[in-house]
Amino acid sequence: MLPNQIPSLDLADFTSGDPVRKARFVQELGNAYNQIGFAAIKNHGLSDELTEKLYAAVKKFFALPEEVKKKYEIAGLSGQRGYTGKGKEHAKGRSTGDLKEFWHTGQMVDDPNDPIKAEYPENIDCEEVPEFNELTKEAYKTLEKTGKTMLQALALYLGLDEYYFDGKVRNGNSILRSIHYFPIENPDSIPPDAVRAAAHGDINLITLLMGASAEGLQVLRRDGVWIPITALPNQIVCNVGDMLDRLTNHKLKSTIHRVVNPPREKMGTSRFSIPFFMHPRSEMDLSCLESCIDADHPKLYEDMTAGQFLEERLREIGLKK
C-alpha cells in the first residue's frame, strides 16, 4: 500500500553518536527517498526565531512597489541572483509562466584561493529591507550545513564513504529562493492553465524547504495520485533533486511535485515559501554510480557534469536564453 503522507525523521538520530540510531536514520531516509523522494525532518538547525524573522523580511520585500523590485532584476544573470519577476519561470515542457516571483541568494565563497569563486556572481543586497540581506545569508549557511549532513547519511545508504559528497558540495552552486505566490484578484485574467508552480522535478541534489505560509504543495505518488505535503512547524521538508536521481540511476527518486492554486475564493491571497536548492560544484560528475547499475536497473542517463546539466535545465525553464 502506497503512503498518503511523507515519513517524519529526526536528524538528531544521525548526529547523536549512537551507532544504532544513526544506522536507523540512514536506512529510513534511504527508504523514503527510494520510495517517494520526500521526508519531513526535525532538529534541522533552523531556529523558530530565524524562520519567523526571515519570513517577515520576505513579506516586507515583496510588498515593495513593482518598480522598486524590478531594479533588482539584473540582466545577464539568468535569474541566479536578486529578483525575478512575475511569470518569468515555467516548468520544463511548458510555456505558461508560473504565478510567482522570487529572489535568489547564492553561494558566498570565503576562500580566495578557490577558483570556483570566479564562476559565481556577487549576491545583491536590497536597500529598502536591509534585514532581508543578513537573514537570507544566515538561513543559507544553516541549511547548507544541514544539507551536507543529509548527504552524509545518503552516502552511507548508497554504500559510499560517509564524506563522499563533502568536497563536491563545498562552495557548491546552491541557491536560497524566497518565493511569493502573488494574489490573483481576477482569476479570469490569467491563462486557464496558469498555476502557482506547475508539476516539476527540482534540478539540484536535494532541496530543503523552510515551511510555507499556506497549503498547496503536492507530490505525485508512483500510482499517479497527487497527495498533499504538510510538515509540522518544527520540521522542514527535504526532497531528492534530479542531479541525485541521475547519480543514483533513479534509485533515489526525484519525485514530481507542484504548488496548486487555492480555491477561487482564496486566489486573492498570497503564499510565501523559502526552499534551499543544494547544488554541487559545477565540475561534479553526475555519471550513474556503477553500484546503482545492474541487469534489473540498466543505466538510464547519459554522462554529464552538474554544470552542464544546470545549463541545460535553465534553458528548459526559461531563465536562460
State pLDDT tens for residues 15-31. 999 999 999 999 999 99
Q: Are strands 175-181 and 101-106 parallel, antiparallel or unpaired?
A: antiparallel
Averaged pLDDT score across all residues of the chain: 93
- Confirm whether 2 is domain-assigned: no
Q: Would strands 257-259 and 217-220 be described as parallel, antiparallel, or unpaired? A: antiparallel
pLDDT at residue 139 tops 70: yes
- Nearest Cα to Cα of residue 241 among 227, 231, 256: 256
Q: CATH number of the domain that 129 lies in? A: 2.60.120.330
Residue of 146, 174, 148 lying closest to 235 (CA atoms):
146
Q: What is the pLDDT of residue 3?
A: 59
Percent of the chain with pLDDT over 90: 74
pLDDT, one tens digit per residue, over 59-110 is 999 999 999 999 999 988 888 999 999 988 888 888 888 999 999 999 999 9
pLDDT the model gives residue 188? 83
Q: Tell me the pLDDT band of 214, cut-offs 50, 70 and 90.
A: low
Domain assignment of residue 195, yes or no:
yes
Segment 221-225 shows an average pLDDT of 86
Residue at 94 is within a domain: yes
pLDDT confidence of 158, banded at 50, 70, 90?
Answer: very high
For 108, the 3-state DSSP assignment is coil
- Residue 237: inside a domain: yes
Please give the pLDDT value at position 4. Answer: 65
- Whether residue 63 lies inside any domain: the answer is yes
The Cα 126–Cα 203 span in angstroms is: 26
Report d(CA 143, CA 258) in Å as an integer: 22
What does the CA dihedral 37, 41, 46, 52 come to, rounded to 10 degrees?
90
The predicted pLDDT at position 287 comes to 97
Range of the domain at 192: 8-316
Contacts of 41 (CB under 8 A, 6+ apart): 8, 9, 10, 11, 146, 150, 208, 235, 236, 237, 238
In a domain? residue 152: yes
Helix (H, G, I), strand (E, B) or coil at 308: helix
pLDDT confidence tier of residue 215, bands split at 50, 70 and 90? confident
Give the whole-number percent of the chain exceeding pLDDT 70: 98
Q: Is 122 inside any structural domain?
A: yes
Query: What does the pLDDT average to over 138-153?
Result: 98
pLDDT at 212: 63
Contact (Cβ atoms closer than 8 angstroms) between residue 35 and residue 220: no
| Domains of the chain: total | 1
pLDDT of residue 28: 97
Instruction: Report yes or no on 321 lying in a domain.
Output: no
